[in-house]
Amino acid sequence: MAESAARKVDRIDSGPAFTQADADALNARFAGVPVPEMLRTLFAEETLGRVGVVSSFGTEAVVLLHLVARADKSVPIIFVDTLKMFEETLAYREEVIELLGFTNASVVQPNPDLLVQKDETGMRWSYDPDGCCEIRKVEPMQRAKAGLDSWISGRKAFQSHTRQNLPRFEIEEGRMKLNPLGDWTKDDLEAYFEEHDLPRHPLEAKGYPSVGCSPCTSTVLPGEDPRAGRWRGWDKTECGIHSPNNPDNKDGDLPPGYEPVF
């Protein structure tokens, strides 16, 4: 197995080159394998090549981060700071990174020139939330992922009807995308929080089961979808980071010359 993992790394060092067959093989291999064991094996064998964790440091993020930290604290942790985040989220990120002992935590932000061109008033969220997400979250994330062969997402199927039937491994733009908690339930998460005494996002107790940017996140009423407070009033359920069919640049005129953060 170590030999095949080494071949995989050699193959993708020249750039992302995973195929659906690779994802199918990993889904079959790790079907039913507990997440901690799966992560330890993947990191030890370097099966995923250059891998990073994408975390919003939302209300459930610490569960995945704790699992990753127990497997390998050197795995890069990417946080996209849209410059519209809640202050509570920024403080929570610092707390979690220090608590779990990650050694390679990075922050990527929107390109300032692009903000001047596309959102000079800082109010694009109020009339074009898709465009706002594109320049403040999707584009920075594309730069961050440029240095990765695989990335790890904290998505769970129960969060929204748009996230049902998540596979553990999927292909996105030639990269391997891993959803370790895809089949976890809310009860599974709560049990993990309790077992490991993990810190809660400070906004959760105030009625925010899902936290994104402050202008586009509202409280959720009992019985609503946990993500009902995201972009309330708009026909929008995702920022675009998890939309594989999104082009890298919908606006068509992003400044060239971006460098990956890793």
- Respond yes or no: is residue 239 known to be catalytic: yes
Q: What are phi and psi of 30, to 5 degrees?
A: -105, 15
Cα separation, 76 vs 262, in Å, equals 8
**Residue 253 vs residues 53, 113, 158, 249, 256: alpha-carbon distances, Å:** 28, 12, 36, 7, 9
Q: How many CB atoms lie within 10 A of CB 95?
A: 15
> Strand 175-178 and strand 169-172: pairing?
antiparallel
Point out the residues that are catalytic.
Answer: 239
